A = this chain, B = another copy of it.
Amino acid sequence: MSEYIENDRHGLSVGIIEKRFHITAEPPHEMLLECDARLGPITIAYETYGTLNPDKSNAVLILHALSGDSHVAGYYSEKDKKPGWWDSMVGPGKGIDTDKYFVICSNIIGSCMGSTGPNTLNPKTAKPYGLEFPVVTIGDMVRAQKFLIDALGIEKLLSVVGGSVGGMQVLEWCARYPEMVDSAIPLATTTKHSALAIAFNEIARQAIMTDPNWNGGDYYSGSRPETGLAVARMIGHVTYLSDQSMRLKFGRRLQNKNDFSFNFDPEFQVESYLRHQGRRFVERFDANAFLYITKAADYFDLAEQHGNGSMVEAFSKTNARFLVVSFTSDWLYPTYQSREMVKAIKKTGQDVSFCEIEAKWGHDAFLIPNPRLSSIIGGFLNRVFNETT
């Protein structure tokens, strides 16, 4: 096992260090995946923030959602328009305090944000994988992350934290590596996708795969399936919002004028907003990566995969303390799904705190600055840190 640092870029603030880690366990540097295919060599993009303490007891692993990346907080340079995706939560003195904790944020395999994914060169063909990339699971993503944590010399994670698909990775960490997880914070997530969540993912995938430019996934040397990916993103985006948040943010307001255009141009503000979200997403995200990550999320089923169908059994190996958070207006992973999780954890006798936060912003609420959420997470981590060390 060795680690190669491809770039080692230090950020402007909060001590970001951006790195690439190469899993090179043994030649030919391949990992056997759950689908029985082999993938390798594998690179994982990750960032760290803050300092690992001498007894390596202050490491917090943050796991990102579908379209996220390893850049969880801070700015790389003054040119950056936006900080990392969870800057409201992660940084000096924030909920996840980088003055106190050593924060690692790892990109997932299958993504297009620096880690090995369908847009990476396939060493066997010297062309991007496209659909030659094997279907990876949440389990595969977490196993790849485990190589990284091992390479960093960390034996126990003070906490594993993530929302949405990141929350699935949190649950997978607890079930797969129970000895390594002191505490877990799954936010706005589920132990398995409902038929509704699978349906929206499948329609989004259909939008991509029926775009003629998708070309069976082989589009890296030509036009990309931009219209399909934009529609896919718009579908996803609406499922992250809520009736109430959209009513407050857009209502029925028109974009430019007070009267209808009587044509099919965007005219309601919500229409322009969605088209804008679609366009922006296409600039930064790969259509195949969207297919692979949504598929991994659809496949995830904690009880089936770790408990022979029993959620209690799936949680029985972990000794982690849990903080489970759901949001009232999240209709993609509604609170009842978090309650089921909490009930199962309680049955194992583990320590679990559950918090349903009143929020208008739907599934995306976990990403939106919220002093209450910061304080709950900060307090929980503080307690675990004090009781563990």
Contact = CB atoms under 8 A, between A and B. Distances in A.
Interface of A: 35, 37, 131, 134-135, 192-196, 198-200, 202-203, 205-207, 209-212, 227-228, 230-231, 234-235, 238, 241-243, 246-247, 249-252, 260, 262-264, 266, 268, 270-271, 274-275, 278, 291, 295, 298-299, 301, 331, 334
A252 B206 contact: no
Given A196-B242, A198-B252, A206-B278, 12 more contacts: A37-B262, A195-B251, A195-B268, A196-B241, A196-B247, A202-B268, A203-B235, A205-B264, A206-B231, A206-B274, A212-B212, A268-B298
Given A35-B262, A192-B252, A193-B252, A199 B135 contact: no
B331 A195 contact: no
A264 B198 contact: no
Given A206-B234, A212-B212, A228-B210, A198 B291 contact: no
A252 B195 contact: yes
Contacts of A298: 268
Contact of A195 (B196, B231, B249): B249
Q: Is the interface of A mostly helix, strand, loop or mixed?
A: helix
Contacts of A227: 206, 210
Looking at A131, A194, A202, A252, the one whose CB has the most chain B CB atoms below 10 A away is A202
Contacts of A195: 243, 246-247, 249-252, 268, 270
A246 B194 contact: yes
Nearest to A238: B199
Given A200-B238, A260-B299, A194 B243 contact: yes
Given A243-B331, A251-B195, A252-B193, A202 B235 contact: no
A230 B243 contact: no
B228 A271 contact: no
A215 to B, nearest CB: 13
A206 B270 contact: no
Q: State the number of copies, please.
A: 2
Contacts of A231: 203, 206-207, 210, 231
Contacts of A200: 238
Contacts of A199: 234, 238, 246, 270-271, 274
A331 B234 CA distance: 18
A213 to B, nearest CB: 9
26 contacts: A37-B262, A134-B262, A193-B252, A195-B243, A195-B246, A195-B247, A195-B250, A195-B251, A195-B270, A196-B242, A196-B246, A198-B252, A198-B271, A199-B271, A202-B234, A202-B274, A203-B234, A203-B235, A206-B230, A206-B234, A206-B274, A207-B231, A243-B331, A243-B334, A260-B299, A331-B331
B270 A202 contact: yes
A196 to B, nearest CB: 5
A247 B207 contact: no
A264 B246 CA distance: 32
A203 B268 contact: no
Contacts of A193: 252
B291 A264 contact: yes
A274 B203 contact: yes
A309 to B, nearest CB: 11
Nearest to A332: B243
A328 to B, nearest CB: 14
A311 B304 CA distance: 51
Nearest to A261: B135
A211 to B, nearest CB: 8
